[in-house]
Chains A and B, each alone.
Chain A
Amino acid sequence: MGIARSTHPTRHNLDLTGRLVLAVGAGAAICLIGVPLAMLLFAAFRGPADFLPFEPGAQWTFEHVRALLTDPVIHTRILPDTLVFVAGTVAVGFVMAFGLAWLIERTDLPGREVWFSLILFPLLVPTPVLAIAWIFLMGPNAGWLNLMIRAAFGLEGPGPIDIFSMGGLILCQALASTPFVFLLLTSTLRAMDPALEEASGASGASPLTTFRRVTLPVLLPGLLAPLILVTLITAEQFELPLIIGLPAKINVFSYRIYFELNPLSSLPNYGGAAALSLPFVVLGVLLLLVYNRLIKRADSFVTVTGKGYRQRRLPLGAWRWPALLLASLYVALAAILPAAVLLWTSFFGYALPHSATAGDFSLEGYRALLANRVFWLGLRNTFLVALASALVVTSIGALLGWIISRSQFRIRHLLDFVSVLSVGIPAVIAGLGVMLLYLSVPIGLYGTVGILVIAYSYRFATTTRLARAGFLQIHKELDEASAASGARWLATQRRIMMPLMLPALTAGFILLFIVGMREFTIPLVLYSPDNVVLSVLLWQLFQSGQTAPSAALASIIVAVALPVIFLARRTFARRALAEDSVFRRSGFRFAAENASNKK
């Protein structure tokens, strides 16, 4: 063995400390994703349904799978609803996102930087905030937009817009998903060499022929990949199906899983929830594999271009006005109006702008909120969990990134796959897995803030990707030079790699912090009075009819989120978001392919 190893020299003078640190990182990664998933698998085949998988009395059973296959509700309601919801959202959201991305990346639309920031708004505040704002705007009876339309056309209520319908749900989800797709598509459009289109013109092809025969086919893989990803992400959505879909009696898969855990009048059905989750996870992995194939093709299309790259923008001319109208329409519906209606309602309740008097103005909403002990607890918890989970995920991401990009360990393929897997696991299922695990392992974590930190921390695909890209940019000779100067592995990492990696890691940290701030599904699934976070409190207030306090809380969340966003954007976030979308575009390759590409 010793001889065999010596032909394969250790490249990074990895000493025992180094191996230990890496092992902790790899172990943590596997524990954070693998163990909850394994619990899910056990729970799906252990019964009876209201028993935890390893509770005394639980046995192996196919009961849950059978129940799943024979339940008529699944086939007649949930499956069709989910399909329509996903297909509709993806279609509407994709068209909107492509239009905006194209205008901002490839035309001379005025104020592109401002549009870019505004479009990201829905990505940066918790979805329940948006959901509540949209209900204020498009509620069938008292929604602002409905009142305006009725006044303008002399119609009688309710309607004409009904947010509590499949159409309303799709519109809202599409508005909420657009920024994500937008980021993916801007990087696709940015990566296309305009000389490819110019060469078609110089070959005698008209602009229309060029679009048909060159632009579309070249962009196609870069468009299909985000399409697959957004399909996956939409299927995972839980917030809007809960807040808007439920009152409309729309029943999608992700909500059904939650329902099995919190049935109206019986014990939680762990087995049923777990069985329902399995096809979801399988579907997620399959879509990720398809995505991975497409991305490789898209990348090979990009790398074929060489130097002399110059982005030329299409002059819009008179089309500037319809283009601006389109962008304003999106920004109004997704950012400006929601923020305005929340702020207004927090002060004026249901009194409307055109009929409100000074007497309607009230600080009661804020007073009630600030007097609420739970608000302060939630505020503390929200920051604590977001900070802690961002820290955990950034550390693990850095270690995984190192293993995947720098080491020859076999396990790097597994780790790469595991980090990619986190994208395919819906938050509601991640919450369920963690719940099953820590209900079964009584170490006092369940119901605390700590379990939220653990549950949030399964999303390390992004930081792993950012860290890997960062490591790949740092020439290997820089760490070899450190080793040649006599530095131990850990010293090399601390003195050489860490400073060089700081921008990439900071970007990842900020991104994860924002994700943690907006999290709603996981803290709802794992809710206890002690670990409430602001997004969950918001929903509870809204559910219990406390309109002004909930609007006040939503306004505070937006007010807290905005400076963070602008501050972050100024320094790192543009880079983070850009790299994040680049990672989504060019990422998710498995280590094996990387190794072969590195030559």
Chain B
Amino acid sequence: MLTVTGLTKSFATADGAVRAVDDVSFTVAEAQCYALLGPSGCGKTTILRCVAGLEQAEQGVIAIGGRVVSDADHFVPVHERSIGMVFQSYAIWPHLDVFDNVAYPLAVARPRVARAEIEQRVMDVLALVGMQAMARRPATRLSGGQQQRVALARAIVRRPSLLLLDEPLSNLDARLRDAMRRELATLIRQIGITALFVTHDQVEALSLADRVAVMDQGRIVQEGAPAEIYDRPKSLFVARFLGAANVLAGKVEERDCQGRARIALGGGHHLVLVTESGSGTAVDVVLRPENLAIAAQPSADAVNAIAGRIVALTFQGSNVEYDVDIGGGTSLRVLARAQADLTRGAPVWIGIDPRYVAVFSGS
């Protein structure tokens, strides 16, 4: 379990001090995997390094497994914290082979760990990451994926209370990244360790983590389960950051007492849905491409349907991405299965399920 309360840290730059982390608090429950997600420079790595003890925060309290490791009065140095860390560059020591890299945390442990036990635990953890056959391979002869496995094995071999991962997949090429992501997810669940990781890749965060905190400019702007964050983003920033979304400008025309509102979009289209925005407000309407239905005929029960014309199709294998011109200089991207009657230039209807529409008061 990890609790971070009121964490604040600034860095001196040429233009004066910059708050890299601004009063951040969150809790990672036991055996939970928690992701800090945000663009580069949002402060997520600084938080991770403060938790590790590689940086010292100015304010705030950090407790790992119930033990306070950093607050106003004292600071436990990195090597006395019960952590394991996977670095972005993996930081595999080049002068040691795979076995010795992984055995290192046990070899430097005090009280000493018996040789036989080190041997046993290292081989166990190497088996866990599928590297037992390469125990004696020099570190300089490892591929990116193998380095990642060794780094992970090294981080968990001494059974720390907390596993920290700094952009663990960013160093791998795209194909390998998908495979390793699945493997990493399985492994973290299997050993049931509490884990905190930082990433700028929303797919990584959403698929690996039990809970995700989206960060912007040193603050957590939204926290929740992956599905919750994805489906109900609280701000335009989060909505945009979590995936390629259609953002349409609109205006609330009328709103009844149950909150059902009629929103006018450009091109003479309208949407009817439940929103908190009051009558007359300018809003941004966010529609995810995969939540839109596309058909040559309007479906009978569709409350919200928009007519348009296909201007471009991009075949993507299992799906097709349609660019639909809906008039008023606006086009919508729709991700759907290929259909024979949907060709370039064809008139179509786009069906919008109000449950998957996010509306934010515009600027």
Residues of A within 8 A of B (CB): 193, 195-196, 198-207, 209-210, 213-214, 217-218, 220, 300-309
Contact = CB atoms under 8 A, between A and B. Distances in A.
A583 to B, nearest CB: 21
A306 B144 contact: yes
B344 interface: no
Contact of A218 (B54, B83, B93): B93
Nearest to A209: B108
Contact of A204 (B90, B142, B144, B158): B158
Contacts of B154: 199, 203
Contacts of A214: 93
Interface stretch (B166-174, B180-188, B318-326): B166-174
B196 interface: no
A202 B52 contact: yes
Interface string B77-96: 11110011101111111110
A453 B131 CA distance: 60
B166 A203 contact: no
A119 to B, nearest CB: 26
Contact of A199 (B53, B91, B144, B171): B91
B93 A202 contact: no
Contacts of A205: 79, 104-105, 108
Nearest to B148: A306
Contact of A305 (B52, B53, B91, B109): B91
Interface string B105-142: 10011000000000000000000000000000001101
Nearest to A202: B85
Contacts of A302: 94
Given A201-B79, A205-B104, A307 B52 contact: no
A218 B95 contact: yes
Contacts of B158: 203-204
Given A196-B93, A198-B91, A306-B171, A203 B54 contact: no
Given A209-B108, A218-B95, A202 B89 contact: no
24 contacts: A193-B91, A195-B89, A196-B94, A200-B104, A201-B53, A201-B54, A201-B77, A202-B84, A203-B84, A203-B104, A203-B105, A204-B109, A205-B105, A217-B93, A218-B93, A301-B140, A302-B94, A304-B92, A304-B94, A305-B91, A307-B88, A307-B89, A308-B88, A308-B171
B79 A307 contact: no
B355 to A, nearest CB: 40
Given A199-B85, A218-B95, A307 B140 contact: no
Contact of A202 (B83, B94, B142, B167): B83
Q: Is the interface of A mostly helix, strand, loop or mixed?
A: helix
7 closest A-B pairs by CB: A308-B88, A195-B91, A203-B105, A202-B85, A199-B91, A201-B78, A301-B94
Contacts of B167: 308
B166 A308 contact: yes
Nearest to B102: A203
Contacts of B84: 202-203
Given A218-B94, A218-B95, A300-B140, A204 B108 contact: yes
Contacts of A209: 79, 108
Given A193-B91, A198-B87, A304-B92, A213 B140 contact: no
Nearest to B107: A213
Contacts of A207: 77, 79
Contacts of A309: 89
A303 B147 CA distance: 13
A258 B90 CA distance: 55
Interface in B38-87: 52-54, 77-80, 83-85, 87
Chain A CB count within 10 A is highest, among B92, B154, B170, B171, for B92
Contacts of B139: 304
A196 B89 CA distance: 9
A361 B142 CA distance: 70
